[in-house]
Every structure is written in structure tokens, then in C-alpha cells.
Structure 1
Amino acid sequence: MNADRAEMNAGVQSSGGPAEPAAPLAPGPGAGEKGLKAGALGLVSSVAMGLSSTAPAYSLAATLGLIVAGVGLQAPIVTMLAFVPMLLIAYAYRELNAGDADCGTTFTWASRAFGPRIGWMGGWGIIVADVIAMANLAEIAGIYGFRLLGFDSLAESRLWTTVAGVSWIAVMTAVCYVGIEVSAALQRWLVCAEVAVLALFAVMALVRVYADGPPAAIHVSASWFNPLHVPSAEKLTAGLLAAVFIYWGWDTAVAVNEETADSKHTPGRAAVVSTVLLLGIYALVATSAQAFAGIGTEGTGLGNTANSGDVLSGLGGAVFGTTGPGWFFTKLLIFMVLTSAVASTQTTILPLARTVFSMAAHKAVPSRFARVHSRFLTPTWSTVGMGLVSIGFLVLLTVISHDVLADSISAVGLAIAFYYGLTGFACVWWYRGLLTRSPRDLLFKGVLPGLGGLLMLSLFCYAAFVVYAAPDYGSTSYDLPILGRTGGVSVVGLGALLVGVVLMLVITREHTAALKLQRGLLPHHLPSLTGAEAASRYVPADSRSGVGGDWFDVIPLSSSRVGLVVGDVRGHGLRAAATMGRLRTSVRVLARLDLAPDELLARLDDVVGQTAEERAAEERAQGRGGGTPGAGGDEALGVTCLYAVYDPVSGRCSMARAGHALPVVVDPARGAVSRPGLPEGPPLGLGGAPFQSVEFQLPAGSLLALFTDGLVQAPDHDTETGIGLLTGVLAECRRPLEELCDRTVAELLPGPVDDDAALLLVRTRMLDEQQVAVWELDADPESVARARSVTSGQLVEWGLDDLSFTTELIVSELVTNAVRYASGGPVQVRLIRDRSLVCEVADTGHTSPHLRHAAADDEGGRGLFIVAQITQRWGTRYTSTGKTIWTEQPLPTAE
């Protein structure tokens, strides 16, 4: 991925294109690479973001009455119990953020744990919850704004509250657009004032209870904190669902992680601190409000359904009074509910915009949403776009039915439980390989997130299919086929998630197709060869932005030699996979020409350059580009590749690379790990210095590891650390190759995979001396007879008498040609008994023999044609001292 970005940047600079636009695309999809303003927030600002997003004052005002209606006097303990799953999920956020501080949070983490489809649904859950909540919060802010100013008639008007809600969304979207620091400064002041007023309200309420409380006041009792006194499990679940909603929002502190100082640790700490602070605030206010107002169904009683949507406004006047300073504090409490809703509207835009922004950077939604403001360093399209979507949702549901809007608000709990639970399970699955490393890892990476996920799953299922599905629950119900009459809350909540399933199948189909094509073009089985034992692994990226064209191959060559190749295509998706298939085929064709590694890379570079020129010409003809080669975005430009040829007869290995990572070589005797010094060479298609081959000796049993950058570059370690981990695993070189492959992947890629990774492990072998016979002959016609004689004798010794006639004919023809056309140097004959019989004749000439069909009256020209007919394969291999003509014949099989 890093090479990909570097090459794209180089391509832009070299093409002489226009200046950088005002809102460029995110430079990369990785954590900290999207171009957001890093280090803008500290721990205090992150905690303020988490608290503001939960809207403590508004959440209590809108939810406390519902909790009391469900569980009665046990409202304080239910409020506190809802803290437990939130704290467990907060630990999951903390651990996942430490491993990958990506602003996509659940989307990114679930994609890497379970694949792009599940990850996309996690991101969709965040979008659904935030859009519905923003519409509701904005409407509440409009209502409270009118009440604060004394315009109660406007507060009752659906038209004017919608207009005010639209205005609040527009204003808060603009605040988020102009910079994260402006948002953080505003939230710090608002949340401090909000918490101070709530604390003042709680203290005053308790003082009044034990001094001159109203008739409905009751003293605090220990029974309020006993969940066993809740009438039924159904009521307890309903109360917990309502209480879960008041804690929701602290994950905003993690959603802005890429803009936070110490992004791997500060956001997770802020999430845990936020939930603990919320526990204290809610426990204190719920207890004091219940003690002051009681749970009666009349007046200011918390059980009064007329006040269930706003219990604090009525209690404010009763606690503070309506004259003198009391009037001011009552208005201040209303103002705090207003600012709480407004602040939450703003902080809800932040995670919503950054989730969509991250999804765009990872190619899960249109790339336009990945644009960043060049000065403010904030997401542009995703911030404005999600603001407009929230406005549209508010207007649409208000026009359709206010009851549907009310039910959609309740349905937020299903989306919350869905993506919070998914995050808990993603943490367990992501770190499954590390859970036995220490008790701390087991507890914080496994047990606590797993329990949180199970609790959220239980709440989701019970609410969706039992509580919310009841026809008499909520404001609406629908008559569904097969299911019958079903509660509107369940229909809206599950329907919104099902819409995401449909969109997910459409959007992720390219990733699925690219991955299928990629796997189809890679070798399904590596060939079994005498000269080398090989094993491989391919690990695809977890998101569309990483699935590219990494490939590897093992190619049988002439004379028992082995060709080894590994390459890394930049780009992603179907084009990258198709480019990989094209290049892999080209390498196999060029390798069969017995080219040296540097010459093969040079020919492959020509193929890439020619393809780029053809594509540029095509774009010129279609009027889609300026015609600069490579400007069309050919993924082959900038491909890195390493090609090696190993000879099991001599034990020599020759390598060359085009911008690729150095291989790792392990000595079988000492277990010493080294990396041969190969000249780097430019990536394919970019031009530059010529490629250079380096040849070195490999003892039998040597372990050779060829890999792509994705193997050693992971979210939790850099390249050098990855190389160290790889060498540590390969030091135990005597283990089976399949086991070494598994251990390498488990050690280097235990969690998310940002970029495709390919690994090719090869253990070298050498042919036994009894399998090779070599003779040096003079370039003299009399040497032909001697060549036939020694060849026949060697075949008898090997028990291959059946091949004597054809082999003598082959040797006779090839030695005759060498004597006739070579430049007078010695002629070498070599026989190799492997899985086939190889016959080689080497001379000092560089003229290439050509197969032709001799005419009926020609006196010569039939020898090579006869050789081609009686052999399985034949060819010419050039060396620095001349050429070698080789043939292969199948060994006779037992009857």
C-alpha cells in the first residue's frame, strides 16, 4: 500500500497535471493516513466529546420517565446496570483502537475480523443510529429553543419544530466542517456547564427531600438498588433497553481517534472514562429525581405519562422554585437540555461523518466521500452529505407521520445494540490468537468484550422479536405477510438494517469478484519438483482498498532448474487482479525461454511499458486523457517483482528484483538468517537503472522465503519489526514448510490485514552425483562417435537401455551441429537422470539452431526436426560463455 501511494504521487507529479484541488481525496485508507488533522485533541477534549455525544441532560429528560414506567422504584439500579454492557464494549473499543486507530471504528474492525460484508453492516449500523438520532435531537433542540424563549405555541407546531431542527442540523454541520478544534472547544464549555447544572439539580433535590420536600417525596431506600425487585424479566429488559440509550454516544471519543494525540491509547481511555463519569451522573440524578418526585402518575411524578418525554422541565420549577434565583435556575436547566441536544447533534455528526469518510477511503462507498478540506483538514463530502441526509430523514418522516418518527427514535436502540455487539465479537475474534498470551489479554481482549457482545446480542434479539414486535408497543404497527400484526418499532429498526443488507450485497460485489478472480489466477497447487520443495500462503486484505494483485509462482525450467517469482501489483479491485494474471502469464512465458533473471525483468518491463502506451493511446482516441503513458492508471506501472532461478545440479541461485523486498535465506547447518544483497532495480514500467542479477551458492536444505510487503507491514508493527518476526519463525528451518507457513501467518498477521500478503517458502535440494554425468569433448568430428559411446554406457549403468537408441541419435545430431557451427571451443555433453532424462550439449557458439522442414531434395536440415519428434521438450539456453541445447525424454515406466 505504501508503494502504491508513492507511485500514485510520483505519477501525479510526472504527468504535469493540475494543482491539488481544494478538497483532495484521502491520501490513504490506513489509520493516520487519511489526511485528517492529527494531534488536535487531548484526553480532556476526547472525554468531553464522549460525554457531549451522550447528551446527559436530554437523555435523562427523555428516558427517565420511560424507565420508571417499566421498572418502578428500581429505576436507579436499572440505570446503573445498563452501565455494565457499555463498560464491557468500551473495553472492546479500547483494545481494538490500540491495535488499529482507524476513524471507521466498527466498520474497519469488523471488516478485518469477519470480512468486508460484515464490516459494511457494522458501518451501516452506525449510519442508521446516528441519522435517526440526529433528526430526533435536532427536533428536540427546536422544541426546547422555543420553550426557552417563551414561544410555547411554536413548540407545539410540527412545521416550526421541523424548521428549527433543520436549522440546528445545518448550524452544527457547519461547526463540524470548519474544524475539529472548534468543535472540541465548544464541547468542553457546554459539557462542563451541563454537568454542573445537573449536579446542582441533584443536590438541591436531595436537600429538599430531607428538608421540606413535597408530599410525593420519598427517602432513598436500599431496595431501589436491588434488581430482584423488578416485577418481571420483560420489564427489566425494556428498562435496560431504555437505559442503554442514555449511555450511547461515548464512542464519539474513539471515532475522532485519528485527530487525537496518542491515537492508539488516548481515545480508548477517553471511552472508558466517559462511561464511568456517565454512571456517576446518571446514578446521582436518577436517584435524586425519584426521591423528590416519586413514581406517581400525577403531577410531577416520574410515572406520569404526560411528562415521560421530558421529566426535567417540570421538575426544574419544583426543585428550584419559580421566583427569584429559582426562576433563573429553572430556565438554566431548560437551557441545559437544549444545549445538551444541540451539543449531541454536533458530536453525532462527527462519528457519522468519519465512519462514512473511512468507508469511502476503504472503497466501501463512493470515493467522493473521502475528500478532505485542504485547510480545515476535515471530511468535506461526508460531513455535508450526512448533514443533508439527516435533514432529509427528519423532513421525510415528519411529513409521513410523526408517529413513525417517534417509533424510529425507539428503533435506534436496535442499531446501537447491533453495532456495539458486533464490536465486542470483533475484538474477541481479532485477538483470538493472543488470548493465551497473558491473563490481561484474556480478560480485556476476550472475556470482557465477549460478555459485552453477548449482552448486546441478547438485548437486540429480545427487543426486536419480543418487546418491540408486540403490536401494542409504540405508536404504530404494521400487518406483515406471514408474521401478522407487528410493532412499528421492530419493523422500522429491522427494516433499516435489512436495507443495509441489500446495499451491502450491491456494494461489496466488486470486492467478492476481485477476490474470486485473484484466487482463481494464483497457483492452486505448487508443482512437485526434485530440485526444491515449496509451500505458499496468500492472505487477502480485509477491505476493498487492500485487495490487489500479489502473486507468487514456482515454474519448472529446463535441466531440473526451478524458477521462483513473487510480485506485488499496486492498486486494488478487479483491474489489479486482472493485471496480476496478465503479468503472471507473461513471467511464465518468458521463463520458458530460459532467460536470466535480469533479462526476464527487462522483457517484463517492456511488456508493462507497451501496455501503458497502448492504454494511453486508447484514452487519447476516446478523448479521456492527455495521452501521457501511465496517466490512465495502469496498475502494472510500479509493480514490484523478484525473480530467481535455482539449479539443483550446481546449487547456484541467481536473482534479480524490480523494486521488491529482499528475500530471507536460512542456512540449514547453523540456522543463520541472512538477506542477500541484491541491487534494488526500479519498479516495472517506471524506467531507470537496468536490472542486475546476483548469483550465490545455496547449500542443500537451505530455506528461501520470498514475500510481498503486506506480510511484514501490519497495523501493529512496522516493516523492520515484521522482518524480525519473520526471521524468528524461519530460524527453526527444519520444521515442515506447511507448518512454517502457518506459523509465519499467525505470528505476523494475527489480526487485521490492510494489504494483500503473499508468502513463498522454498527448501532447496541437490541432485545426487550419481544422477549427473558430464564429458568434455574436443570440437572435432571424431568426438561424435565418442559422445555416442559414453552416452550409451551411462544409460546402461542407469538401467535405461530402452532410451539408448534415441539418446544416441540426439547426442549425435547435437554434437555434430556444435562441431560444425561453434567457434572451435570445447563441447560439453551432460546427462541428468531426474523425473525425465535430460540431455545437454553446450558449446561456445551463440548462433541459435532453428527447426525447419527440409524440402525433398535437401541434403540436410532434418536432424533437429528428428530430435524434436523423439523428445518431449527441447530448447536453447544461453550463458555467458556460449549456449546449451537441451532435450527431455520421459523415463520408461514399469509395466
Structure 2
Amino acid sequence: MGRKGLRNNALGLFSSVVIGIASTAPAYSLAATLGLIVTAVGLQAPIVIMLSFLPMLLIAYAFRELNASNADCGTTFTWATRAFGPRTGWMGGWGIVVANVIVMASLAEIAGSYGFRLVGQDALAEDRLWTTVAGIVWIAVMTAVCYVGIEFSAAVQRWLLCLEAGMLVLFAVAALVKVYTDPPAGALHVSASWFNPFEVSSVQALTSGLLAGVFIYWGWDTAVSINEETVDSTRIPGRAAVLSTVLLLVLYALVATSAQAFAGVGSSGIGLGNPRDSDDVLSGLGEAVFGHHATGLVLTRLLILMVLTSALASTLTTILPLARTVFSMAVHKAVPARFARVHRRFLTPTWSTVGMGAVSVAFLVALTSFSGNVLADSIDSVGLAITFQYGLTGFACVRYHRRVLRRSTKDLVFKGVLPGLGGLIMFCLFCYAAYVYAAPGYGATSVDLPLLGPVGGVTFVGLGALLLGLLLMPVVTRGHTVALKLQRSLLPRRLPRHTAVDTAARYLPADSGSGVGGDWYDVIPLSGTRVGLVVGDVLGHGLRAAATMGRLRTGVRVLARLDLAPDELLSRLGDLAEQAVQEREAGRAQGHPGSPADATMGVTCLYAVYDPVSGECSLARAGESVLAVVEPRRGEAHFPRLPPGPPLGVAGVPYRSTEFRLPPGSLLALFTGGLLQATDGGDAGRAELSRVLAGNRDGRESLDELCDRAVTTLLPGPVDVDATLLLVRTRLLDRSRFAEWELSADPAAVATIRAAVGKQLGDWDLDELVFTTELVVSELVTNAIRYAGGPVRVRLIRDRTLICEVSDTGHTAPNLRHAATDDEGGRGLFIIAQMTHHWGTRYTPTGKTLWTEQDLPPPAGP
């Protein structure tokens, strides 16, 4: 089963190429557009058809490169989302939906008409009601075929395409033979001028021809839309896309040249310029090419059958990418989640397939009700959606791979130049078409719009459908936008400067609505110039995960200020996570809706405390958190073995802390699993990260530059899930910035330490703090000797504040209380709290440490 539940390895290269070619409906496309191209450019129709192949080939390369980097059946929707963000991605997916729904109307119309002609009911073929009813039936049948399964659909396609290609080649050969043996009136010999684009009368005519020519190649990208059901999904679909366009070029050039040679470009009779047959040139040529004898009549019927099967095949392969695009959008939370359901037996998208079939039927009925010519208006309208979708894909390829374009000439050409050029051509065609189609006289239908007046029906349908997606965009992308804003607001705006470490961090949000989750990082100043380092990852995505992340990050900061050991902090944080789960379950029991996968369960977290005085680092982990360390002397990154611990909110073995000493200048990398998502596996990702970190052995790069290089190397393209990286370079506190004394449990030692402290502050030019500090030290040392006994250690640290620490062997922390007027004691700690900026207690393996912080006096002026 594939990544999204679709059937895996169902199709090979041949089946993918067949589906890619069949999606373009070669016979139907030629029948519907060859006359339009001839009308625009005359005898240069063959070269215009061949030139129309070039932008398609360029976009095919974009599909190939994007598919190799990220095989997702959402194609343009997924790639544009990861390249430009959810809003642009939504419009890319909407463009696919619009193009496929519109073209379904023309396919159903031609299938219904040719179905009646095949059985000799020409009168019904001209009746709009009956062709619409027949079209609805054909859409229903093809939707059922797609619903049954991709393998059955591919088998049907192989038979239909073989019949279609065989008849087209037979028609082309028979037409050329007659041209040079028994030419009809108006026949022309093939001339080199037909293949000279400079013979076209004007740039406007050339552009009109190219725009019509683009339509006949459209559809090959179905081979990529089914990538998750294809063998070797990162390579085979891309090859099939390129190969499909090349084979279409050969087929179209052959048929267009032979048809033009046989019928000429006149505006009467069987001439390709005859406006009566402009939307269906093959049916009129069939009898003329094959003759009136028995065999000729059979071949003529086969030609009609060929156009019918071509339309049916294209209907089938239009439903496939349409359903899979909507399916992928549902998986990524861009449309309602029910469209992501997969049939248990057939492993096909259920709601997406049936729903898009129903939408196509509704659009066919709506278009029939107001359009003067359903076939012509739908073909022209779909050109707008095609050029929009393909152009966006070309630009998305360039931006998606922007970080690797300088890696090699091959990457620059195939990931940058060719897709960018294809996108630019499609963009120009889109702008031209939108301008031309807006003329009231263009097409078979005109619509009178408020404020704008009469507008061509082609623009009303094609551009209007795209604008509808623009209006819907804020609604469907609101969840991703709100989740991302909440996530960013809960992360540190900037990391604090600290004596103990230099830090830099990067948070990369997922590019789709299904990926923004609860990754976080933090750097927390602790007592005694120590620092707490945190990286965590909340299970789940969206607003719930972001809110859970904010709650846990706040919990870590509160618990860290209590100076808890890493293992104890994670234990209490796990209790907080478990309590949140219990509250949510109680809410569900009272009838409140809940999430099927609770974001509070299964949180991974790595918490470390670094002491710059001793160089000791103590840490513990919850879940599969990983730490990378680069020691300056070794110059190689290694991953210390950390004691295992269960994810937060999940029962398991108790958390355990581990300690190791870090030489000054050591580099630590704390990161979430999302940082390694682009590599083939965890080991490969860690090896790549090791090379990046070890490459900065000399320390010439700043941590910000190293962060950027690590992210660029490990995540060269957009990301599926959040990724976080926190880089830390350690320092040892200079020996001149702290002083320590060891005292015996003797009351006489109080006077000694007062004198020593006063002398040290004088050496530091902090005479203003002597009185306060002596009072603090006297009170804390006296309490330690009176209530704890044993040796007492005093330490002064001059940092951004003056820190005073008194450590003893007692395990009972003093409580701040307000002494009554008649109490003889209890005022000491209250006085200390009033005279210092901060104070607190932390426990150590041998006892406890009481600490205070005083603000340093401002430096003296010049």
C-alpha cells in the first residue's frame, strides 16, 4: 500500500506512457483543434503544432524534476505549496480542478455526439439535449471504471490507445498515398515552407495558433498524477511524461501534415479552413480518405469509433488526475478530509473520484444551459486553466530547487533554465488568451456582466473559474495560516545572549496545511550562569499541535526556573502532558468532539543544562531525541548515547539524566526528526549533518551561517513536516570572573568570609555592592552552619549580574515568610529577597545551593 493508502507498484513505464498519451485524446484533440490552427496560421499549421510541443516539453522536464524530488499525486498543488506557500499551492490545485472539469464538458459532448454517429443516428448527434444526456452517461461509466481500480483503468487504456493510434497512423498513410497517387481537388504536396514559422502572417496569428496547439498536448501529466501508484515513483512517472510528449509530437506532426496535404486549407468542401467543420475535421475527412466502397465504409466507421474511444479514454484519464489532485489536497487539509478516503478493496480515492464525476456532470449541464457552442467554448476556456497550471509548475520547479541550481550545470539547465523558460512561455500565453478571449465577439457565447458589460463567454468560464478559486483561497488556507502564526508567536522571537554559550536556531514550518505542527526550541537562562537548552516535537499538526507546543514550552520554562535536574523536569512535564490528555478525554466523555490522534501524546523532548563554570552538561531525553557534539580537538561530530526515555505522556521506564564534560568551544546540535526527512534514512541524515558540522572545525563560520548551511544541505527543498535546529557553542567562564571558598561549620568562619567577599568585590571595583553582599553572605552562611552543618561552600560570580551562591549539605530549602512584630527570628530571608534582584534554591547531589543575583552598578562615565 502506498504512502496515502493507494495501491503501490500497480503501473510500469509502458502503462504510464499509455495513460499519458491517452489523456491527451490524440484523435479527439486533432479533430477539435486542427481546423482552428489552420484558420489562424494557414499552411504553417504543421510547424505551429510542432512549436507548441516545445513549451510542453519544457514543462514536462519541470514535472520530471519535481517528481524526482517529491513524488506526490497532488503534483502542481503539492509542489507549488512547498515552493510558494499554501495560498499559491491552493491556486495550483484549483487550476488542475478547473481545467479537468471544463474539459470533461467537451469530452462528454464529443463522446455523446460520436456515439450516436457510430450507430447511424446523425439527427440525435445534432440534438443538444440527447448529446448532453449521453455525455452524462459516459461520465458516469468512466467514473465507475476509475472507481474500480487503477489497474483496470490502465488495461482499458491500453486497448483504447492501441486502436486509436493504429487508426491515426492508417489514416495518415492512406491520405498521403492518395495525395501522390489519386489526389482530390484542393490537395497539396508537402512543402518545406509548411515548416517555416517565419511564414506565418503575424505574431498575433502565431500566438493564436500556439495557444490552440497547447491544448492538443495537454493531459500527459496524468502519468505523473498517478506517481504514487507507479513502480519506482520518483523516476518512472517523470520519464513517462517526457516520453509521452515526444511520441505525441511524432503522431501529431504526421497526422497534421497528411491531413493538410490531402484536404488543403480551403474554406469550402473538405478544406481544413471550412468553418462548418472547424470543431471536427476528421469525421468529414474519413469518407474522403477511405472511399465509398465496403472497406472504406468500415474504415470510416472505425475512424468515428476512434474519435469516440479517444474521447472516452481522455474522459477516463481526466478523472484520474482530477480525483487524485483533490485526494492529495484533502490529505494536506486543503479540502474537507472526507475526500481523502480510500476504498478498502480497490485502494482508489472514493469521495474524490465520485465527487469529481458529479461536479463534472453538474458543470456540463450548466455550460449546456447558457453556451451557444459547448465544444468550442469549453476548449478555449480550458486553455486558460492549462497555461495557468503549467506555468505555475514551471516557476515552482525553479523555486523548489533554487538552493541546488549552482551544484552542477545539469541541475542549472534541467531544474532551472528549462522549467523557468517553459513557465514564462505559459505565462505569456495565459495573459494573451485572457486579453483576447475577453472580447464580446470572441467565441460562441457572450455574457453581460455588471460594471464590466459584455464579456466573451470563454473568459467568463475560464478566467471566472480561476477567480472563484481566488475567492475561496482565504477560507481553505485559513487553518494553515492561523496555525503557522500561532506556532511562530509561541517560539522565541530572538535567543538571549548568554555568558555560557553562543546560540543560533532555525525553525522551518511545513509547507502544507497538514504539516505545520508543534516543533519548538528554547534557551533558558538559569541560576549560576548556567543555561537550559530545549528542543521538542509535538505529535500531530495544526492548531491543536501548536497550542500543545505552547503549553509544554511554558511548562518547561516554569520548571526550569525551579532548577530541577533534567530527568526530574521531564518527569513533571510528562505529568503535565498526561493531565492534559485526561482533561481532553473527560471533555469527550461529556460530548465534546476530540481529535483521533491526541497531540499531547508521544511528545519528544531533549532537555540539557550546561554549566560554564565546570564545563559539565547534564541532559535527559523523552522519546527518540538525538544530540550531536563536535569537540574542538577531535573535529568530528559524534552522537552520544543517551539514556532512553519514553515520549511525554506515554508510560515507560523512568527518565534518567546523564552528564559529560564539554571542552570550551564544543559545538552542540539539538534537532527534531524533521531535519532528516529529506535523506534516505536516519543514519544517512546523521552522517550528512556530521559532515556539515565538522566542516566548521576552524570556527570561521558564525553559528547563524552554519545553521543556514546545515538547513540548506539537509533540506534542499521545501519540507513535509516541521524541522528545528538549535546550534550551541560552549564557553568556560574565565577564572578571573568567579571566586570560591570552602568553610568549616564554625560560626567564626562568618567573619572570615565577610572579609574575603569584601576584598574580592574591591578587586572587581564593585565597592557599591560590598555592604549588601556581606549581609547576604553572612545570613546564608549563618543559616547553613546552624541548620545544615558540614562544610559550606561560597561562590561569587561576576556576570551580567553579581551572583552569590552558598552551598551546604542540607536538603531542606528555607521558606520565605513575613515575621510578626514580636518574632525574634525569620526576617533574614525576607531582607535578602528585598535587597537582591532574584534569589532561589537548587538541589545538588550533595545537598542544596541558595543563590542570589544583584544588578551591577552602571559603568562610570568618561
TM over 0.5: yes
> Residue 521 of structure 2 aligns with which residue?
552
For 1:104-144, what per-residue CA distance to the aligned partner results, in whole angstroms no more than 9, with x for missing partners? 00001111111111011000000000011112101211110
Q: Does 1:513 align with 2:476?
A: no
Secondary structure of the structure 2 residue equivalent to 1:525: coil
Matches of 1:402 and 1:730, distance apart in 2: 67
Unaligned runs of 5+ in 1: 1-26, 626-630
Matched, 1:844 2:809: yes
1:136 is matched with which residue? 106
Are 1:501 and 2:465 matched, yes or no? no
Match of 2:218 in 1: 248
Query: 2:199 maps to which residue?
Result: 229
2:618 corresponds in structure 1 to 654
One of 781, 785, 801 as aligned partner of 1:819: 785
> Secondary structure at 1:663's aligned position in 2?
strand
1:834-880 alpha-carbon deviations (Å, 9 max, x no partner): 11111111111111100000011111000111111111101010011
Q: Structure 1 residue aligned with 2:269, among 299, 304, 326?
A: 299
Equivalent residue number for residue 752 of structure 1:
718
Q: 1:404·1:488 contact (CA, 8 Å) conserved in 2?
A: no
Counterpart CA distance in 1 for 2:580 and 2:449 is 57
Instruction: Identify if the C-alpha distance between structure 1 residues 624 and 102 changes in structure 2 by more than 3 Å, giving closer, same or farther.
Output: closer
Inter-partner Cα distance in structure 2 for 1:102 and 1:702: 41
Corresponding residue number in structure 2 for 1:724: 687
Q: 1:102 matched to which residue of 2?
A: 72
1:354-374 Cα distance to aligned partner (Å, 9 max, x none): 000001111111111111111
SS of the residue aligned with 2:502?
Answer: strand
Moved over 6 A (4+): none
Structure 2 equivalent of residue 469 of structure 1 = 438
Residues 1:112 and 2:82 are matched in the alignment: yes
Report if aligned partners of 1:89, 1:420 keep a CA contact under 8 Å in 2: yes
Amino acid at match of 2:658: V
Q: CA deviation at 1:617?
A: 1.0
Q: State yes or no: 1:711 paired with 2:679.
A: no
- CA deviation vs aligned residue, 1:51-95 (integer Å, no higher than 9, x gap): 110000111111111111111111111111100000110011111
1:881 to 819, 843, 846: 846
Matched AA of 1:791:
V
Taking structure 1 as reference, are residues 517 and 820 closer, same or farther at Cα in structure 2, changes over 3 Å only?
same
2:457 corresponds to 1:488:
yes
Task: Give yes or no for contact 1:615–1:632 (8 Å, CA) kept in 2.
Answer: no
Aligned-partner Cα distance in 2 for 1:141–1:844: 91
Deviation at 1:152, TM superposition (A): 1.3
State yes or no: 1:191 paired with 2:169: no
CA–CA distance in structure 1, aligned partners of residues 822 and 300 of structure 2? 118
572-581 or 615-624, which moves further after superposition? 615-624
- CA separation in 2, counterparts of 1:483 and 1:502? 18
**CA separation of 1:559 and 1:37: change in aligned 2, threshold 3 A:** same
Confirm whether residue 347 of structure 1 aligns to residue 312 of structure 2.
no
Deviation of residue 401 (structure 1)?
3.6
Pairwise CA distance, 1:561:
0.3
Correspondence list, 1:62-211, <5 A: 62-211=32-181
Give the AA of the match of 1:724: A
Q: 1:527 aligned to 496, 503, 517, which one? A: 496
Contact 2:795/2:805, CA 8 A, preserved across alignment: yes
1:343-402 deviation digits (Å, cap 9, x = unpaired):
100000000000000011111111111111111111111011101110111112223344
CA offset at residue 783 of structure 1? 2.0
Give unmatched runs, 5+ long, in structure 2.
Answer: none
Shift of residue 478 of structure 1?
3.4
CA deviations on 1:412-470 (whole Å, 9 max, x unpaired) are: 001000010111111111111211211111111111111111110111111111x2122
Residue 51, structure 1, aligned to residue 14, structure 2: no
Q: Which residue of 1 aligns with 2:395?
A: 425
1:698 paired residue number: 662
Alpha-carbon separation, structure 2, partners of 1:441 and 1:796: 65
* Length-normalised TM-score, structure 2: 0.98
Identity among equivalent positions (%) equals 71
Residue 740 of structure 2 corresponds to 774
TM-score, with length taken from structure 1: 0.94
Q: Tell me the equivalent position of 1:792.
A: 758
Cα contact 1:567–1:660 (8 A) shared by 2:
no
Structure 2: distance between partners of 1:33 and 1:73: 50
Gap change, CA 1:308 and 1:406, over 3 Å in 2: closer
Matches within 5 A, 1:254-653: 254-403=224-373, 406-465=376-435, 467-480=436-449, 483-622=452-591, 633-653=597-617
Contact kept, 8 Å, 2:110 with 2:375, in 1: the verdict is no
Q: Give the distance between the partners of 2:596 and 2:317, measured in 1 at CA.
A: 40
- Residue matched to 2:833: 868
Looking at structure 2, the residues matched to 624 and 661 of structure 1 have their Cα atoms a distance apart, in angstroms, of 31
Determine the structure 2 residue equivalent to 1:675: 639
Contact 1:53-1:249 at 8 Å conserved across structures: yes
> Distance in 2 between the 1:632 and 1:328 partners?
61
Give the partner amino acid of 2:114: Y
For residues 215 and 683 of structure 1, the distance between their equivalents in structure 2, rounded to whole angstroms, comes to: 83
- Alpha-carbon separation, structure 2, partners of 1:385 and 1:71: 40
CA distance in 1, matches of 2:287, 2:859: 104
Aligned mates of 1:234, 1:492 — CA distance in 2:
23
CA displacement at 1:482 relative to structure 2: 5.7
State the SS of the aligned residue for 2:67. Answer: helix
Query: Residue type matched to 2:132 in 1?
Result: T
Q: Check the 8 A contact 2:324/2:349 in 1, yes or no.
A: yes
Distance across 1 between alignment mates of 2:596 and 2:351: 25
- Structure-2 separation of matches of 1:769 and 1:881: 24
> In structure 2, how many angstroms separate the alpha carbons of the residues matched to 1:797 and 1:231?
93
Where 1:550 maps in the other structure, the secondary structure is strand
Q: Distance in 2 between matches of 1:354 and 1:843?
A: 68
CA distance in 1, matches of 2:762, 2:269: 113
- 2:109–2:375 Cα contact (<8 Å) kept: no
- The one-letter amino acid of 1:326's match is G
Contact 2:801 2:856 in 1 (8 A): yes
Aligned residue identity for 1:725: E
Q: Secondary structure at the match of 1:825?
A: coil
What is the letter of the counterpart of residue 605 of structure 1? G
Deviation (angstroms), 1:632: 5.9
Contact 1:555 1:564 in 2 (8 A): yes
Paired residues of 1:176 and 1:346 also in contact (CA < 8 A): yes
Bigger mean CA deviation after superposition, 426-435 or 593-602: 426-435
Deviation at 1:780, TM superposition (A): 2.1
Retained in 2: the 8 A contact 1:208–1:292? yes
How far 1:624 sits from its partner (Å)?
5.0
Structure 1 SS opposite 2:590: helix
Q: Is the 8 A contact 1:404 1:476 kept in 2?
A: no
Structure 2 Cα separation of the partners of residues 408 and 243 of structure 1 = 15
1:721 to partner: Cα distance? 2.3
Q: 1:632 to 1:64 in 2, by over 3 A?
A: closer
Q: Does the CA-based 8 Å contact 1:708-1:759 persist in structure 2? A: yes
Once the two structures are superposed, residues 540-564 of structure 1 have per-residue CA deviations (whole angstroms, 9 ceiling, x without a partner) of 1110111011110100000000000
